[in-house]
Structure 1
Amino acid sequence: MEGTGGELDYTPLLNWPPLAGGLPDCTSWLLGAMLFLAGYLLLQHLWNFHRAVSRNVPPGPRPWPILGNFLFLLLPGLVGKGSSLESRRRTFLFPHIVLNDLAQIYGNVFSLFIGSRLLVILSNFETVKEALVTHADVFSDRPNLAMVIHVTQQKGIVFAPYGSVWRQQRKFSHSALRHFGLGQLSLEAKVIEEFKYVKEEMLKHGRGSVNPFPIISNAVSNIICSISFGKRFDYEDKEFKTTLKLMSRGLELGMNSCAILINLCSWLYYLPVGPFKELGHAITEIRSFLKRIIAEHKDTLTAGNPRDFIDMYLLHVEDEKAMNKSSFNDEYLLYIISDLFVAGTDTTTNTILWSLLYMSLYPDVQEKVQAEIDAVIGRDRPPSLTDKALMPFTEATIMEVQRMTTVVPLSVPHMASETTVFQGYTIPKGSVIIPNLWSVHRDPKIWENPDDFYPDRFLDGTGHILKKEAFIPFGIGRRVCMGEQLAKMELFLMFANLLQSFTFALSDETSKPSLKGRFGLTLAPFPFNVNISSR
C-alpha cells in the first residue's frame, strides 16, 4: 500500500467490488462510501502509528497497532517476564509503581503508546528537572487528550495550554489569591476559625472510632471556599457534602482505565452506562454547583468592593470588555474556580489524611511532634505560622509524609509543543510527558532506605530543616502548583492544631490499611478509622 516518496497508494481499495463496476443503488453507494472512509481512516492511523514507532523514540514495551500498549493492562506477557493476573491488577491500581518497575527495565526515559499517542515517562529527578526546567520552552504545554478536553475544555489554570492566555490567567489568579490572604498571615485566621469546627466534630465522637475523611475534607474545602466564594459551608450541608463526594470519585475515575479508554475512543464519554456515566454525572453536578455560586455573585456584585476571588474576577471581566480579544470571561472563570475548588480541596485533604494515618502507625513520631508543639506553643493558644521556624521536627514530619505518599504521583501530564531531541531520543510534537514524582521520591540513589518512614532525613546535624532539591511534591518548572504556598500554610496549621488537641490511634476493629493508597489524579489513603483522645 506504500507508493513512492513514502506516500500511501489507495488503488487496491478503489478496486474493491462495492466501489468498482458502478453503483447499482443508493444503499450500495452509501455502504461503499462508509467502508471506503473506514478503510481510509484505518490506513491513515496505521501509517501514523508506523511513523511514530519507527522514529528514534525512547525504548519501551512493544506497542500493538490501534491500541498501543493498552493491552498490557488486559493480557499477560505484554510487559515483561513475570506478568500475571496480580501484575495486571497492580497496573490498574498502582500505575505509578508499575511505571517505576518498567523504568528498571527500559531506563529513566522510556515510552508507552495509548493508541498512536506517544507517552514519555520520566523516572528520576535529574531527568524530570532537565525536561521541565532546562527544556521548559518545549515541555510546559498540556496534552489535548480527549479526556482533558471533555473535563476542562482546556481552560483554567491546571490543564490550559501553555501560552499568553494561560500566563494572563495565572498572573491574575495568583494576584487575586494574594489579595485575599495567600502567603500572608491574614489567612491564618481563616484556618484557625475552621479548626474550631473540626475540633467540635471530632469531640462529638468522644474516644470512639471515627472516619476522619469527611471532617478533614469539609474543613480544607471551606478554607479555599472562604477565599474563592467568600463563604464557608456547614458540615451538614447536603449539597456541599454531595459535591465533595462527587469530586473525590470523579478524580479517581479520571485517571484509571476509564480515562484511557476515553482517550482511545472519545465517544465513550457519552456512553450512558457504567463508569463513563458516573464520571459524566460527577462533572455535570460539580459544574452546576459552581455555576450557581457564580450566578449568586453576579446578582450581588458591587463595583469597587470585591468580597472574594469570584467578585474580583467578575469586576476584571467588566474592565476588560473594552478589549476586543480579552481572554477574561464568565466561562473561563468557571474553569478557574473548578481548579481552585477541586485541586485546592483534594490534594491538601489527602495529605492531612495521610498524616493522621502515619501518626497512628508511628506513635513515637506523633509523641515527638506533640512534645515540640508543647515546648514551642503550649496548649493554651492556637499555632501560628510564626511558630513554624521553631518547629523543625514537625515540619520534617509533614515533608516525610509528602515524600512517602506523593499525592499527585504522576504529576499533571505535560506535552511536547514541538519535536525535539531529549537525552538522545526524538520526542515528537504532541507527545505526552509523564513525570513520575513517586519514582523521584523513592529513588534509593537520593533517599536512603526510601520505603522507610523517617522524618529525620529532612534534618541536618544541628536539627535544622535540610532542604533537598529532589523533594518536589508540588512539581517543578513553569507549571509548578499555583497553590503551593496555600497548601504549605494549611498543612502546617491544620497538622499542628490537630496534634496539639488530639492523639490519634488506629481503631481496634481496623486492621492496618495498605499504604499504597487509592490511585486517581491524586493518591488517597484507603478508608480508615481512628480513635481520638483529647490532650
Structure 2
Amino acid sequence: MALDHRGTQQTQQGVVFASGERWNQERRFILEIFKKFGVGRSKFEDQIETESKCLIEEIAKLKGEQFDPNHVLVNAVSNVIVSVIFGKRYEYSDERFKYFLDLGTQQAKNSITNFVFIFVPVIAHLPFGKQIHTGLTDVALKLTDFVSEIIKNHKRDLDTESHRDLIDAYLSELRFNENGSSGKLSMLNEFNLTVTIKQMFIAGTDTTALTLRWAMLYMALNPTIQKNVHDEIDEAVGRNRLPKLADKPNLQYTQAVLLEIQRMASISRLGVPHGCTKTTTVRGVTIPEGFIVVSNLWAVHRDPDLWPEPWKFKPERFLDDNGQVVNRDELIPFSTGRRICLGESLARMELYIFFTHLMHQFRIEGSNWKGDTVSIVDQGRNPNDYKIRAIHRD
C-alpha cells in the first residue's frame, strides 16, 4: 500500500522494502557504487580514521567531565555514511544537521510502529491510531524534504562523468536511461533514490552509533575487561599512534570484546520482514505463501543452549583455547540470508576503528546507568540514558 507519496507507508520502495527485480537492481547498483568509493574496503580506512580523530578531539574537549556520549557518537558515525551519500561531512555544531540527525533517530525509533501500520493498515483509521499515524508521517515527510533538497542541489551541478557521491552516480544513471544510453537499470527512479537514501542514512547511522553507545556503557560497567583491552592495544600498537586495520590480527581479545558487545546489545531485535514466496514447511511448521516471516535475532543471542549464562558479559565466548577469535555462526547482528545488511562490511570496519581508537585514547568510567528497560515500539534496542567520563590515557 502507499499513502502520501513522501510518507512512511511504502512497500516495494527503496532498497530495503523492494522485492523481485526491483530489489535486484537497487541492491546491485548500490553495491557497485560502494565498491567504486571503496566502502568497506581497506582504502576507506583513512576516511573513517579522519572522523574518528574528530570524535576524539570532541570528547577530549570535555576534559574528563561527565557527559552523554549519544550525540557525538551519532554525529561521527553519520558523517561516515553521509560522506558516501552526500559527498561531505558536517561539523558537530551544525544546527541543520542536528535537525536531520534528530529526524533520523525518530524515524529509526518508529520502525516497529511503521511495520504495524504497513501490515495492518486499518489501524490508521481507528481513533487511537490516527494521531499516532499523523506523527509518524510528519517525521517521515520532514526527513524526505531534507533529502529532496540535497538531491535538488546535486541536480543543479551534476557532472555525469565525475561522481562526488552516491547521489551523483544514481542521478547519472537516471539521466543515461532517459537519453537511451542505458537500459540495464530501468527500475531505478528518483523517488526510489530518495527512499533509499533515507533508509541507508538511518541504517548506516543508528545501528553503528547505538552499538558504540552500548560499547562505552559495557566498558564503564566492566573495568577489568576494559583494562584487558587497554593492555592488549598498548602491547600491539604502542602509545605513539592509533590502531590500524593491519593491527587486527594482534588484537584478538579486543575483537572478542566487540563480538560480545554485539551479542549483548542485540540492537536489532528483529530481522527485516520476509515474504514467503511459496508454501513451505520448516521443522514441521507450514508457512503459507504470502505470509510474512520475521526472524527473532534477540532470541538467538539470548538462547542459553547456545550461550551459557547469556546475560553475562563474557568475551571469552569468542576465543578458543589458544586465545584466537572464533566467529560463531549463531552471532547474527546483521541478520542472515540474501537480505543481510547492505552495509555490513562498512559497519564492521567502523566499529573496529572507532572502538579501538576510543580505547587507545580514553579510560571510560563513572556510568550512572541504573539498568535497562524494554520498549516494544523501538526496533533499535537503546540503553536508558546514561553519562560517563572519558579520562584521557596520556
TM-score past 0.5 threshold: yes
Partner of 1:305: 162
- 2:7 & 2:337 partners in 1: Cα distance? 23
Tell me whether 1:228 sits opposite 2:88 in the alignment: no
How far did 1:259 drift? 5.2
1:43-442 equivalent positions in 2, closer than 5 A: 150-161=8-19, 163-256=20-113, 260=116, 263-265=120-122, 267-268=124-125, 274-321=131-178, 322=180, 323=183, 326-442=186-302
Q: 1:61: which partner in 2?
A: none
Of 495, 498, 501, which aligns to 2:355? Answer: 495
Could you tell me which residue of structure 1 aligns to residue 341 of structure 2? 481
Whole-Å separation in 2 of the counterparts to 1:269 and 1:489: 45
Q: How far did 1:473 drift?
A: 0.9
Kindly provide the CA deviation profile for residues 262-299 of structure 1, in whole angstroms up to 9, marking residues without a partner as x: 62525449999743332111111111111111111111
SS in 2 for 1:435: coil
Q: Which amino acid in 2 is paired with 1:171?
A: R
In structure 2, how many angstroms separate the alpha carbons of the residues matched to 1:428 and 1:146?
A: 27
Q: Contact conserved, 2:214 with 2:261, CA < 8 A, in 1?
A: yes
Please state whether the residue corresponding to 1:293 is helix, strand or coil. Answer: helix
**Count, aligned residues:** 388
**CA drift at 1:419:** 2.5
8 Å CA contact 1:269–1:280 kept in 2: the answer is no
2:15 is paired with a residue whose SS is coil
Match of 2:389 in 1: 531
Contact 1:253 / 1:275 at 8 angstroms: preserved in 2?
no
Alpha-carbon distance between aligned partners in 2 of 1:531 and 1:375, rounded to the nearest angstrom:
24
Superposition deviation, residue 233 in structure 1: 0.9
Distance 1:244 1:157 in 2: 21
Q: Which has the higher contact order (CA 8 A, sep 6+)?
A: 2
Q: Is the contact between residue 318 and residue 325 of structure 2 (CA under 8 Å) also seen in structure 1?
A: yes
TM-score, normalisation: structure 1: 0.69
Gap change, CA 1:468 and 1:308, over 3 Å in 2: same
Residue by residue, what CA displacement relative to the aligned partner does 1:406-441 show, whole Å, maximum 9, x if unpaired? 111111111112223333233222211111011111
The alignment status of 1:512 with 2:331, answered yes or no, reads no
In structure 2, distance between residues paired with 1:349 and 1:165: 30
Tell me how far apart the structure 2 counterparts of residues 445 and 348 of structure 1 sit (CA, whole Å): 28
Structure 2 residue aligned with 1:4: none
- Structure 1 position 458, deviation (Å): 0.1
Residue 533 of structure 1 aligns to a residue whose secondary structure is: strand
Amino acid aligned to 1:523: R
SS of 1:235's equivalent in the other structure is coil
Structure 1 CA distance, aligned partners of 2:225 and 2:288?
A: 48
Which whole-Å CA distance do the structure 1 matches of 2:285 and 2:392 have between them?
A: 57
Distance, in Å, in 2 between the alignment partners of 1:225 and 1:496 is 22
Q: Against the structure 1 CA distance between its residues 145 and 277, is the aligned structure 2 distance closer, same or farther, given a 3 Å change threshold?
A: closer
Bigger Rg over Cα = 1
Structure 2 unmatched runs, 5+: none
Q: Is the CA contact (8 Å cut-off) linking 2:369 and 2:385 kept in structure 1?
A: no
Letter matched to residue 56 of structure 2: K
Runs of 5+ unmatched residues, structure 1: 1-143
Selected match of 1:459 from 315, 319, 326: 319
Contact 1:152 1:335 in 2 (8 A): no
- Tell me: CA distance 1:207–1:466, structure 2 relative to 1, closer, same or farther (3 Å): same
Q: Percent identity?
A: 35
- What do residues 332-378 of structure 1 show as CA deviations (whole Å, max 9, x unaligned)? 11122112111000110100101001001001111111111111112
Which residue identity lines up with residue 116 of structure 2 in the other structure? I
* 1:345 partner letter: T
Question: Would the aligned equivalents of 2:123 and 2:129 in 1 still touch at CA under 8 Å?
Answer: no
Q: Deviations over 1:425-479 (max 9, x none)?
A: 3322221111101111111111121111100110000011112111111111111
CA distance in 1, matches of 2:328, 2:126: 42
